Copies of this chain bind each other. A is one copy, B any other.
Amino acid sequence: MGIVERKEREKMEMRDRIVEAATLMFLEDGYEKTSIRNIAEKIEYSPATIYLYFKDKDELFFAIHNIGFQLLLKEMEKAAKIKNPLKRLREIGGIYVEFALKNPEYYDLMFIMRSPMNALKEKHGDEKCWQYGETTFSLLLSTITECIEQKLIRTKDPVVASMYTWSAVHGLVSLKIRDRYSVMNLTDPQLKKMLFQCLDEFMVLMHT
């Protein structure tokens, strides 16, 4: 009898409805204002119900963080086609920066906020750990490895190169998202231009 299947499906549907409502609220009003009580009110259930589907707020926001990664990885696919690994590397960087500027809330959750990482810590070993993070990093790593193989960049260690490349682009966008470029009085379009100038200059530095 398909009764347990139906129940499982219903459970999944309810979970999805919670994540959907929470995501909408999070993107519109930010993390702080997306309270368990507000989400519950939006889906017309009691706050306690949410705890039947998620261990805590961190686990719920881990689910939202995953949606963000799916979005980023879909964008990244566009770069995967590019044969020349150096051009692909530049495109990956460009997509990364563009994603962060277009989806600052998602980016914040994916790479800055503590919340989703807390969720990972608690279920140690259950699934490997930070799957989507690994996937994204290995995309960068394999591209840089190709660049080194073809002697297109001035570096030997692919892991070190991947780390400081990731750090460079993360630094660029996270300082913007967390308001530290207020030092230089720039408008948003001016800053965006600057960020891409930084990216291009960085690519020049790496190039043989």
Q: Are A198 and B111 in contact (CB under 8 A)?
A: no
Interface magnitude class on chain A: 35 or more
Any B CB within 8 A of the CB of A89: no
Name the B residues within 8 Å of A114 (CB-CB): 178-179
Partner of A198, one of B163, B169, B184, B201: B163
Q: Which residues of chain B come closer than 8 Å to A198, judged between CB atoms?
A: 160, 163-164, 167
Pairwise interchain contact B194-A113, C-beta atoms closer than 8 A: no
Chain A, range 111-129, C-beta contacts under 8 Å to B: 111-114, 117, 120, 129
Known: A120-B182, A130-B183, A174-B174. A201 touches B160 (CB 8 A): yes
**A123 shortest CB reach to chain B, Å:** 13
**Nearest neighbor of A129 in chain B, beta-carbon distance:** B182
Assess whether A182 is in contact with B112, with CB atoms less than 8 Å apart. Answer: no
Given A170-B175, A194-B163, check contact A180 B133 (CB 8 Å).
Answer: yes
From A112, A175, A183, A197, residue with most partner B Cβ within 10 Å: A183
Check if A154 sits within 8 Å of B197, measured CB to CB: no
The answer to whether A201 touches B161, judged by C-beta atoms less than 8 angstroms apart, is yes
**Chain B residues positioned under 8 Å from A21 (CB to CB):** none
Whether A202 sits at the interface, judged by CB under 8 Å, is: yes
Q: A171 touches which one: B161, B174, B205 (CB < 8 A)?
A: B174
Determine if B113 and A178 form an interchain contact, defined as CB atoms under 8 angstroms apart. Answer: yes
- A120 partner residues in chain B, CB cutoff 8 A: 182
Residues of B within 8 A of A67 (CB): none
| Contacts A160-B194, A201-B155; A167 near B178 (Cβ below 8 A) | no
Docked-complex contact B160 and A166, CB < 8 angstroms: no
Chain A 123-154 interface mask (CB, 8 Å, partner B; 1/0) = 00000011001100100000000000000001
Q: Knowing that A114-B179, A129-B182, A130-B182 are A-B contacts, what are 11 other residue pairs whose CB atoms are under 8 Å apart, sorted by A's residue number?
A: A114-B178, A117-B179, A134-B183, A137-B183, A155-B201, A155-B204, A159-B194, A163-B172, A164-B202, A167-B167, A167-B198
